[in-house]
């Protein structure tokens, strides 16, 4: 077949890196701390089988025809309940259902950004979003994070400098809870400050909270959206980690004006996301079943998190540090500056263990002395063995 004339977006993608990574991670015998996906027993298989057959039998009209493009009312009410539990009082009218939070991000970006427009992103940031926006011709500007989330001092300086150059960013993309890859949470003080900054500089905050509610310790996970008095925060949530990523059910909480625009655009985007999946999840809310399921998930993830932190404490050589995630799926490891992370990765692969090198999570993909470990999927003994192997590779690398 003649070569396909790809769009500049598709032809600009780094074709090999991630696919190659994940392919290798599936080789037999490889211990993988790569993908951020739930552990197999986390899926509510029996309950989903029960509610699905009941929906098909008793309520076919709710699931078979084209649905409300904004999402079924029952799922939007369920999302409003979940948001209220976390301090965000929102009407179902302001909730738009999507095929996962990444799809929500994509649609928002299509509505508010043009090529040449400026967006602020965190450094490091979520790979899925970074890859999706990199080739749209946006002006992407990184602001660093620390253990308290995005550096609001640098953010303000950056916005002030851009303003003096006549540049007016449209959006700031942040992860408020359980950052991917860094495993940190934005501090309460910065959560309160961020909407004020967005108001001052007249831009949106896109708050990605894809791991919502997966909190294992006593920490404040109130979304930034809860402190938004001027409708500057667009909140992006997901059932991927609470129920199943395969269901592709997420949502956005948006200002009224944007809901209207979104509903107008929806027939041109995807005509709405699947009613069956939304209704299954709505049904899981009956008698608070999902709340108790999330309680069990928290026990499972906390135990995996603890296994990882325990193994890092026990096996990592001196000079290496890591984040102690209060929730979510990730630990972000920092090595001494002189460690060659490419060489470390090859050594680790020889030891039959894989993880994501930090470079992927930055715009320039240059050397950064970090890597991401994900504890969500393997059992505890596998996590410990994997960390032990990585630590052994790191000791060899440091010694060389």
Angle 308-214-299 (CA atoms, 0-180°, nearest 5)? 60
Least gap, CB of 236 to ligand PLP (angstroms): 7
Contact flag: residue 240 with ligand PLP (CB under 6 A): yes
Contact flag: residue 223 with ligand PLP (CB under 6 A): no
Pick between residue 274 and residue 310 the one whose CB is nearest to ligand PLP: 274
Contact flag: residue 238 with ligand PLP (CB under 6 A): yes
Neighbouring CB atoms inside 10 A of 183's CB total 25
The binder of ligand PLP chosen from 128, 223, 272, 378 (CB under 6 A): 128
Please give the C-alpha separations between residue 302 and each of 142, 189, 290, 382, in angstroms, as whole numbers. 31, 26, 18, 15
Please give the C-alpha separations between residue 27 and each of 32, 354, 397, in angstroms, as whole numbers. 9, 10, 24
Contact flag: residue 250 with ligand PLP (CB under 6 A): yes
Structure tokens at 28: 């037999």
Burial class (CB in 10 A: 0-12, 13-18, 19+), 179: buried
Least gap, CB of 372 to ligand PLP (angstroms): 11
Q: Measured between alpha carbons, how far is 175 from 186 in angstroms, rounded to an integer?
A: 8
Pick between residue 180 and residue 275 the one whose CB is nearest to ligand PLP: 180
Contact flag: residue 242 with ligand PLP (CB under 6 A): no
Number of residues that bind ligand PLP (CB under 6 A): 14
Q: Which of residues 12-71 bind ligand PLP (CB under 6 A)?
A: 36
The binder of ligand PLP chosen from 21, 126, 173, 251 (CB under 6 A): 126
User: Whose CB is nearest to ligand PLP?
Assistant: 100
What's the sign of the alpha-carbon dihedral 98, 184, 351, 389? negative
Tell me the window of 21-29, 74-82, 238-246, 296-304 that interacts with ligand PLP (CB under 6 A): 238-246
User: What is the contact mask toward ligand PLP in residues 67 to 106, using x (rule: CB under 6 A)?
Assistant: ---------------------------------xxx----
Burial class (CB in 10 A: 0-12, 13-18, 19+), 53: exposed
Contact flag: residue 323 with ligand PLP (CB under 6 A): no
Burial class (CB in 10 A: 0-12, 13-18, 19+), 304: buried
SS3 141: strand
Contact flag: residue 180 with ligand PLP (CB under 6 A): yes
Contact flag: residue 210 with ligand PLP (CB under 6 A): yes
Q: Measured between alpha carbons, how far is 24 from 186 in angstroms, rounded to an integer?
A: 34
Pick between residue 175 and residue 344 the one whose CB is nearest to ligand PLP: 175
For ligand PLP, the binding residues (CB under 6 A) are 36, 100-102, 126, 128, 175, 180, 208, 210, 238, 240, 245, 250
């Amino acid at each position: 077949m003649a070569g396909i004339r790809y769009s500049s977006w598709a032809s600009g993608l780094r074709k090999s890196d991630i696919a190659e990574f994940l392919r290798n991670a599936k080789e037999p015998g490889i211990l993988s701390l790569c993908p951020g996906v739930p552990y197999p027993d986390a899926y509510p298989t029996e309950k989903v089988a029960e509610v699905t057959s009941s929906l098909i039998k008793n309520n076919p009209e709710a699931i078979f025809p084209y649905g409300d493009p904004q999402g079924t009312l029952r799922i939007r009410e369920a999302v409003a309940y979940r948001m209220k539990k976390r301090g965000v009082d929102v009407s179902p009218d302001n909730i738009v259902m999507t095929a996962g939070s990444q799809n929500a991000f994509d649609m928002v970006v299509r509505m508010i950004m043009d090529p040449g427009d400026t967006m602020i992103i965190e450094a490091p940031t979520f790979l899925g979003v970074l890859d999706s926006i990199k080739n749209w011709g946006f002006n992407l500007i990184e602001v660093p994070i620390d253990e308290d989330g995005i550096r609001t001092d640098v953010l303000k300086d950056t916005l002030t400098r851009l303003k003096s150059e006549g540049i007016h960013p449209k959006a700031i993309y942040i992860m408020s809870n359980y950052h991917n890859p860094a495993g940190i949470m934005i501090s309460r003080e910065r959560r309160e400050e961020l909407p004020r900054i967005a108001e001052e500089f007249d831009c949106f905050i896109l708050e990605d909270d894809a791991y919502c509610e997966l909190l294992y310790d006593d920490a404040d996970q109130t979304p930034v959206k809860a402190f938004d008095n001027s409708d500057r925060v667009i909140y992006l949530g997901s059932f991927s980690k609470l129920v199943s990523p395969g269901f592709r059910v997420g949502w956005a909480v948006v200002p009224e004006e944007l809901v209207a625009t979104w509903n107008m655009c929806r027939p041109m985007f995807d005509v709405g996301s699947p009613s069956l999946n939304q209704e299954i999840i709505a049904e899981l809310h009956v008698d608070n079943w999902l709340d108790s399921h999330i309680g069990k998930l928290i026990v499972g993830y906390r135990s995996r998190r603890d296994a990882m932190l325990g193994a890092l404490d026990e096996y990592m050589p001196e000079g290496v540090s890591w984040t102690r995630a209060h929730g979510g799926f990730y630990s972000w490891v920092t090595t001494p500056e002189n460690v060659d992370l490419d060489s470390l990765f090859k050594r680790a692969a020889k030891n039959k263990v894989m993880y994501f090198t930090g470079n992927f999570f930055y715009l320039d993909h240059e050397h950064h002395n970090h890597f991401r470990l994900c504890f969500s999927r393997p059992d505890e003994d596998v996590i410990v063995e994997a960390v032990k192997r990585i630590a052994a590779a790191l000791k060899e690398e440091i010694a060389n």
